[in-house]
Chain A
Amino acid sequence: MNRRPWILGFVAFLVFVFLYAPIAWLAIASFNSSRSLSRISGVSTQWYVELFDDSRVLESLRLTLQLALASAVISTVIGTLAAFGLRRAFPGRGLWTVLLSLPLVVPEVVMGVAMLGFFVKIAGIPLGFGALLFAHVAFSLSFVVVVVRSRVSGMDVRMEEAAADLGASPFVAFRTVTLPLVAPAVVAGAAFAFLLSFDDVVISSYLTGVGSTTLPVFVYAQASKRGISPEIVALSTLMVTATAVLLVIGVMVASWRARKAGSAAQLV
């Protein structure tokens, strides 16, 4: 299978086409002059204009961003701690692993109805931002732990030992050696958590309160009545474009820094 990598490359290319086909179609349809998503009848930018005039969409976008940011920060902090907790073997680690794999495998609809019942009937947590935050952290945490743990467990303990031997205090060793080593995984985990919260429909749809509708729930409710609005198509196009631009900048900065730091950075 390595003798003819171009066959494999072609298959990989087709999978990329599959992944990008609907995105590309959204981008085209966002400039459509009619409301239809399937038939392109002309070119216009009116949906972008209407998007920035629609206060309901902008308001729920703001709420969704705040929620995703708060959820990502909390789950990244406590999830990273947990990943370090699982670093070395200890009695009961298997049990923790099982607990942490639960949110990955319990179907969303089950989590959603369970949280709805618990928040409303037992805990007395009003539906809305607080309930959404508790839930989003609960289902994002495990993803952060998985991502950070893979990096932590692959880390060379001798690096930290060397720092200690050279006289670094545990705090200094952590800040100057351990943290830079796990930083990429922490950032990846945070991005993952942000994305999970930002795009969640199912669980959020059970927990939104009056006046605290997240964007996906708003879109879902609106779409089931009269189809998806072209404004949302325009917004999605903007979001993917922004992500792609950020990614390109990130790669450029990383390669620039790697070149600057020389071959030492390659070792990490």
Chain B
Amino acid sequence: MSRRWLKANALLTPTGLWLGIFLIAPLALVVQFSFATRDTGVARAVLPWTTQAYLTALDPAFLPIFGRTLVYAVVTTVACLLLGFPLAWFIARHGGKYRTVLLAAVLIPFWSSYLARIYAWKALLDGEGLVNTMLGWVGLGRDGGFLLTHGAVILGLTYGFLPFMVLPLYVACERFDFRLVEASYDLGHGRASTFFRVVLPGVMTGVLAGSLLVLVPSAGDFVTPKLLGGVDQSTFGSVIDDQFRGGNNWPLGSAMAVLLLVLVVLVLVLRGRRGEDVL
């Protein structure tokens, strides 16, 4: 064991201990819970071991919810990419000495309460809210507003997770050598070709890191769908929450949590080692 190895591990030990005790151990317990039998009387998980919870979790009744959650997460990630990339690129390329200020300006709205912001959207999307009123002027209004729709949930999720996309994208754009764009034009490439063959590969690490940071939490979120959506917009996260808070079926909730974790691991494996230096 070299000195460098010892030094690095000594520096990492406090973090390792903290995460080991307060994150890894609890996650291991959830895996154990997921194989336990439900004890309805005290809502506790008890022996013997069984895979019953998984069979229940994979019941066709839950499938639409699982599918809907995935669609929400994917659409939210794409929306964050479409909004976040122009913004990150603009700040990195044209921000000049105001880059830090502009980047901070992206984050300022997130210093207000998350719930207050979601309720603000709720008010704006309401039947008599500003958005519906303004759309009404051009004949696009909708009776009762836009609450309780898939669009409202995706809008709320996109709003909530956008900074997680902008920050890694900005880091990647800042490292990007913008002269490559000029070079590409000089060599006769068009705009689309330059974008897909020069810009996108150059900022790929940021795209991957940002997508990961948006995709996974939006798949687990339940507060936004609960507040902006209705029964038809409930997600996997809210079903898990119900098992622990209301439904009192910890093994089922744990099994669902483990399934969500498996999904996370799958995404991580698919990503491989790309974008590791950003995240």
Contact = CB atoms under 8 A, between A and B. Distances in A.
Interface of A: 1-3, 5, 8-9, 11-12, 15-16, 18-23, 25-26, 29, 36-39, 78-79, 81-82, 84-88, 90-93, 96-97, 99-111, 113-119, 121-123, 134-135, 137-139, 141, 145-146, 150, 153, 195, 199, 201-202, 206, 215-216, 219-220, 223, 227-228, 232-233, 235-237, 239-240, 243-244, 247, 251
B112 to A, nearest CB: 4
A15 B110 CA distance: 14
B264 A106 contact: yes
Give the most central of B26, B33, B260: most A CB within 10 Å.
B26
B105 A114 contact: no
Interface in B182-220: 182, 185, 191, 194-195, 199, 212-213, 216-217, 219-220
Nearest to A101: B279
B113 A107 contact: no
B114 A201 contact: yes
Nearest to B10: A85
A122 to B, nearest CB: 6
A240 B111 contact: yes
Given A5-B90, A109-B221, 9 more contacts: A8-B93, A12-B87, A26-B112, A100-B19, A104-B213, A115-B26, A117-B29, A228-B116, A239-B113
Interface of B: 2, 4-5, 7-12, 14-16, 18-19, 21-27, 29-30, 33, 44, 83-84, 86-87, 89-91, 93-94, 100-101, 104-106, 108-117, 119-124, 126, 128-130, 159, 162, 171, 178, 181-182, 185, 191, 194-195, 199, 212-213, 216-217, 219-223, 227, 237, 240-241, 244, 250, 253-254, 257, 260-261, 264, 267-268, 276-279
B248 to A, nearest CB: 12
Contacts of A247: 101, 104-105, 108
Given A8-B89, A25-B124, A122-B29, A228 B115 contact: yes
A204 to B, nearest CB: 11
Contacts of B241: 109, 113
Contacts of B115: 201, 216, 219-220, 223, 228, 232
The 10 A-B pairs with the shortest beta carbon distances in the complex, nearest first, are: A107-B220, A85-B11, A22-B120, A118-B26, A114-B26, A37-B123, A236-B116, A12-B90, A236-B112, A85-B12
A188 B89 CA distance: 21
Contact of B195 (A1, A114, A201, A236): A1
Contacts of B181: 1-2
Given A22-B121, A232-B116, A105 B216 contact: yes
Contact of B217 (A22, A107, A116, A117): A107
Give the most central of B15, B110, B264: most A CB within 10 Å.
B15
A80 B220 CA distance: 28
A121 B42 CA distance: 13
B23 A19 contact: no
29 contacts: A1-B194, A15-B84, A16-B105, A20-B109, A26-B117, A82-B11, A82-B14, A86-B8, A90-B2, A104-B213, A105-B217, A107-B220, A107-B237, A109-B237, A110-B240, A110-B261, A111-B27, A113-B241, A113-B244, A114-B29, A116-B244, A153-B277, A201-B223, A202-B223, A216-B114, A219-B115, A237-B112, A243-B111, A247-B105
Given A110-B30, A199-B110, A219-B116, A1 B199 contact: yes
B128 A39 contact: yes
A111 B26 contact: yes
A29 B93 CA distance: 36
Contacts of A99: 16, 19, 24
A109 B257 contact: yes
B9 A106 contact: no
A22 B260 CA distance: 31
Contact of B18 (A23, A137, A201, A233): A137
A134 B221 contact: no
B220 A110 contact: yes
Contacts of A85: 7-12, 15
A2 B22 contact: no
